[in-house]
A and B are shown apart, each in its own frame.
Chain A
Amino acid sequence: MRKLQGFWRTGLHHGTAVTVTAVFLLPLFWMLVTSVRQPGLPPQRTVEWLPESIRWQNYADLFVMMPTARYIVNSLKVIAVAVPVTLFIASTAGFGMSQLASAWRRRLFLGSAVLLMIPGTAVWMFRFQILQWLGLIDSLWALIIPAFAASNPLFVLLFYWTYRQVPASIFESARLDGADALTVWWQMARPLARPTAVGVIILTFVMYWNDFIAPVLYIYDAQLYTLPLGIQILKQLEYGNWPYLMAGSVVMMLPIIFLFILLQRAFLHNISLANLFERN
């Protein structure tokens, strides 16, 4: 009797979980289905689970009706600079922080935590002025520049937490061998933080790929539009033409989904810190 009750409860648990997943993923499924519908047809009045015919041409059309390729290249240019810079600044700063005396470590930690609470809106205006002074309005550098401040204080804290877990004696012995800080970081600390680095790379990629606000605020030259602005233009070009709008959204979304699948594998297959120390 008890066992049977347990069976039903487990079933209910799984059933609820599946329902939740369906609610969260169904819109994305519709997005995909709609993106390959024949454009220009009268919209369906019932929910269409599968399209009658699949038209991949919609995706090719996106690249003809507007300079989608250029938007993608601009987005990738921003990412190609912003991601490595963020990784370098965040990793070195996190290492530097982990080597400080405890009083300063605490101050810097609190400072970074307070920074996380500052609303983005509060920095829009004067950042515009600073970028104007630097001559960076209407330049992809306006979008890249946060990378030089590690993009997000959280990334510095992630590296800091990782390096704090490493026994201090490991870095000390290298230091006594006469290695300078850069060598210690590059040869000893950095390889230990590989899982953290993977996480930060992915989060940074998502941050710059998704970024809509910064280009809206700081980019006026149509040659420099990134993909999110392109999607906004597509909305104006093809208002109500759902197959194209959804195809654009899928193009925007695909790298993110792909990265997150990659992330799961990276986290699963990575040599974690714990493993590494067990082997020594």
Chain B
Amino acid sequence: MRTEQLTTHQKTLQRVKKRPFSTYQFQTRLFLFPYILGTFILVVLPALATVVIAFTNYNTIRPPEWVGLENFFRLSQSAYARISIQNSLYFIGLAVPLRILGALLLALLLQRKRRLFGLHRAAVYTPTVIPPVAYSLLWLWILNPVYGPLNIFLGWLGLPMPAWLTEPGSARLAMVILSLFQIGEGFVVLLAGLQTIPRALYESAKVDGASGWQSFWRITLPLLVPWLLLLTFRDLLVSIENTFTPSFVITYGGPYYSTTFAPLLVYELAFDFFDFGMAAAFMLLFFVLMALLIGGITALVGPRFVREDA
């Protein structure tokens, strides 16, 4: 019995000697290898390649040639590119603030633990996980000018009934409207953000005689600024991406290119015309525009936020 224990102990010691600490660390690093390699090949490399392709006449068939700024010059001449940028800026300018505001209001409404509130939160999250194709078909029906439930409702209320998808202005607006229901991500993030605010702050504010409205402006909102900024940056990049499937399935960019947003134009340039160079140049241009926008917002909000924090 005693000897047996000794021998197992010795065996363990031997094994530890055989597999020193560094081997274990090497093995755990090996675990990271597929993730890093895969991400490099499938995400990092293609993203960097897009920057290079923008300066070539690449079309996947001929070997690419360096054409300098020609693609950008052609873009500046292209009415489609201009319309697509305008559409995208319209979408971002309207959808991003409304989406963040909507997520914030819903998070404030449903943050407390009350009966059935779990169900309400699930309901708010549902449109976000619905398959985009099914969601698009659903809206194709909702927006039908004659039989669609939306116009029937508007008719009941005696409100004007737009032609929605058949008229450029209302079609573009419709794309914004349908994006406003897919705000589950921001909603969940802000619910988490609200949880991090210490209850004690509200209690002491109440003792000092602050109204609910005051404690919202003085406590809740300032403490949520980092979360709201993060969401805004992500939404600037992601919400426009999410227009691809609806604009592809519902309108295919029409009528009169009114719903041709940036991702759809990239798709058309790259996969209908196989003009990868142009598509990449447009992508790069759009990305720089978004980076400038993000930089601008940071410059505007950043200093004030830092001062409040200090």
- Expressed in whole angstroms, the Cα–Cα distance for A62 and B279 within the complex equals 37
Within 122-167 of B, Cβ neighbours of A (below 8 Å) are at 122-124, 126-127, 129-135, 137-138, 140-142, 144, 146-147, 149, 152-153
- Expressed in whole angstroms, the Cα–Cα distance for A267 and B287 within the complex equals 38
Minimal beta-carbon separation of A39 from chain B (angstroms): 13
Does B53 belong to the interface (CB within 8 Å)?
Answer: yes
- Expressed in whole angstroms, the Cα–Cα distance for A17 and B124 within the complex equals 10
Known: A118-B47, A182-B27, A249-B137. A256 touches B267 (CB 8 A): no
Within 8 Å CB of B89, what residues of A?
none
Known: A216-B248, A253-B130. A126 touches B137 (CB 8 A): no
Closest to B294 in A: A117
Give per-residue flags for A91-120: 1 if the beta carbon is below 8 A from chain B beta carbons, else 0: 011011101100000001000000111111
Known: A123-B42, A125-B270. A245 touches B123 (CB 8 A): no
Within 8 Å CB of A176, what residues of B?
16
Q: Give the contact-size bracket for chain A.
A: 35 or more
- Expressed in whole angstroms, the Cα–Cα distance for A99 and B233 within the complex equals 31
Does B114 belong to the interface (CB within 8 Å)?
Answer: yes
Within 8 Å CB of A153, what residues of B?
39
- Contact in complex: B134, A252 (CB < 8 Å): yes
- Expressed in whole angstroms, the Cα–Cα distance for A45 and B153 within the complex equals 11
Minimal beta-carbon separation of B28 from chain A (angstroms): 4
Does A164 belong to the interface (CB within 8 Å)?
Answer: no
Does A43 belong to the interface (CB within 8 Å)?
Answer: yes
Pick out which of these stretches binds chain A: B194-202, B203-211, B237-245, B301-309.
B237-245
- Contact in complex: B133, A264 (CB < 8 Å): no
For the complex, count residues of B whose C-beta is within 8 A of A.
87
Within 150-186 of A, Cβ neighbours of B (below 8 Å) are at 150, 153, 156, 175-178, 180-182, 184-185
- Contact in complex: B129, A256 (CB < 8 Å): yes
Within 252-310 of B, Cβ neighbours of A (below 8 Å) are at 262-263, 266-267, 270-271, 276, 279-280, 283, 287
Within 8 Å CB of B32, what residues of A?
93, 96-97, 100, 108
Closest to B240 in A: A119
Does B24 belong to the interface (CB within 8 Å)?
Answer: yes
- Contact in complex: A96, B12 (CB < 8 Å): no
Closest to A22 in B: B123
- Contact in complex: A150, B149 (CB < 8 Å): no
Pick out which of these stretches binds chain B: A25-33, A193-201, A270-278.
A25-33
Of B35, B141, B283, which is in contact with the most chain A CB atoms at under 10 Å from its CB? B35
- Contact in complex: B12, A177 (CB < 8 Å): yes
Does B62 belong to the interface (CB within 8 Å)?
Answer: no
- Contact in complex: B38, A149 (CB < 8 Å): yes
Within 8 Å CB of B249, what residues of A?
212, 232, 235
User: Can you give 22 contacting A-B residue pairs, CB < 8 Å?
Assistant: A13-B114, A14-B116, A20-B120, A30-B142, A43-B147, A47-B153, A89-B35, A100-B29, A119-B241, A123-B46, A124-B266, A126-B53, A128-B271, A130-B42, A130-B46, A146-B42, A153-B39, A181-B24, A212-B131, A246-B141, A249-B133, A253-B131
Cβ-closest 10 pairs across A and B: A149-B38, A96-B31, A178-B15, A181-B27, A93-B35, A126-B46, A249-B134, A126-B49, A123-B46, A43-B147
